[in-house]
Amino acid sequence: MAKINPAQFIQEVRQETAKVTWPSRKETTVSTVMVFIMVIVSAIFFLVADQILQYGVKLILGIGGN
């Protein structure tokens, strides 16, 4: 296994970091909003799916006196 000089490693990391294209503030905001929207949509979907499954189980097993 080749030994790596720590100073050389840090220099290479800085070179690679300089190549990174960082997102703009607008891109970050849009991505964040999209994540929140998808979380809300997913939560609503799973709420509805859970309610349907709960109703089906109650109907089949005849339990849950509501």
Rounded to two decimals, the pTM is 0.64
Q: Is 33 a member of any domain? A: yes
With respect to residue 56, please indicate whether it lies within any of the assigned structural domains: yes
- Domain annotation covers residue 48: yes
pLDDT of residue 63: 76
36: tokens are 């929140």
Q: Is the pLDDT reported for residue 3 higher than 90?
A: no
For the chain, the domain total comes to 1
Sign of the CA dihedral with 52 first, then 56, 59, and 63 last = negative
Residue at 54 is within a domain: yes
> Residue 18: exposed, middle, or buried by beta-carbon count in 10 A (0-12, 13-18, 19+)?
exposed
Average per-residue pLDDT in the chain?
Answer: 91
Over residues 27-49, the mean pLDDT reads: 98
Percentage, residues of the chain above pLDDT 90: 70
Q: What residues make up the domain containing 53?
A: 26-60
Cα–Cα distance for residue pair 60/66, rounded to 1 Å: 14
Higher local confidence (pLDDT), 48 or 65: 48
